[in-house]
């Protein structure tokens, strides 16, 4: 009887998370097949020249502090800047863009979520943005993040993005700390 209940829980977990052949790892602890060579945050365009000359970034430290872009075996993840210049007190939007790399696809069963961090000068419409706000495609997920800057100058949009990408054989459940500097006039 206990073994039957345990089997139902395991099978239910497979179905819930959309993986077909592998028991997924706990959503609270992100792991991927490529974590052994943890993803390097991509340098900003303005920093590309200095990044090329500098020594490799410690990926564990970068993952803790956050970055605007991450590249991994199964996905690219970025927090993209607003398309227009921002004015103090005017609403702005950045986008979290997750692009799966074949043979991976975005796991549409996973409860994709962004937990924003309160930062000085930035007011968010919501501190937690859920899956219902995401535009999902098989190979891509786009999440808009609305905010208002209440002072002129440079501010930081930051949060932890939780997501999953899968192949036919396995699912990777990931969390990445994203951050992006934005400015208001």
Domain 2-184: which CATH class?
mainly beta
pLDDT in tens, 72-122: 999 999 999 988 789 999 999 999 999 999 999 999 999 999 999 999 999
State yes or no: pLDDT of 43 exceeds 70. Answer: no
The answer to whether the CB of 77 falls within 8 A of the CB of 69 is yes
pLDDT at residue 163, rounded to an integer: 98
- Here the tokens at position 161 are 């993005």
Please, where are the H alpha helices in 26-119?
A: 48-53, 59-65
Question: Contact at 8 Å (CB) between 165 and 53?
Answer: no
Q: What percent of the chain has pLDDT over 70?
A: 65
**pLDDT tens, 174-184?**
999 999 999 99
Can you give the pTM of this predicted structure?
A: 0.67
DSSP H helices in the chain: 2-17, 48-53, 59-65
Q: How many percent of the chain have pLDDT more than 90? A: 61
Q: How far apart are CA 14 and CA 117, in angstroms?
A: 31
Q: Averaged over 152-177, what is the pLDDT?
A: 96
135 pairs with which residues across the strands?
A: 142
Domain assignments of the chain as residue spans, ordered by start: 2-184
What percentage of the chain's residues is helix, strand, coil (to nearest 5)? 20, 40, 40
Least confident of 13-22, 100-109, 142-151: 13-22
Q: What is the mean pLDDT of residues 24-51?
A: 40
């Amino acid at each position: 009887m206990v073994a039957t209940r345990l089997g139902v829980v395991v099978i239910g977990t497979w179905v819930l998370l959309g993986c077909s052949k592998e028991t997924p790892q706990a959503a609270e602890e992100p792991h991927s097949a490529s974590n052994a060579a943890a993803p390097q945050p991509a340098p900003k365009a303005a920093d590309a020249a200095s990044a090329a000359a500098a020594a490799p970034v410690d990926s564990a430290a970068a993952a803790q502090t956050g970055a605007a872009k991450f590249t991994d075996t199964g996905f690219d993840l970025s927090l993209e800047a607003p398309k227009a210049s921002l004015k103090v007190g005017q609403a702005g939007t950045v986008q979290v863009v997750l692009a799966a790399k074949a043979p991976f696809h975005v796991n549409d069963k996973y409860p994709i979520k962004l937990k924003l961090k309160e930062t000085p000068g930035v007011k968010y419409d919501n501190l937690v943005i859920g899956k219902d706000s995401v535009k999902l495609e098989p190979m891509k997920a786009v999440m808009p993040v609305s905010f208002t800057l209440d002072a002129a100058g440079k501010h930081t949009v930051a949060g932890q993005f939780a997501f999953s990408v899968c192949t036919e054989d396995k699912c990777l459940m990931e969390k990445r700390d994203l951050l992006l500097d934005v400015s208001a006039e």
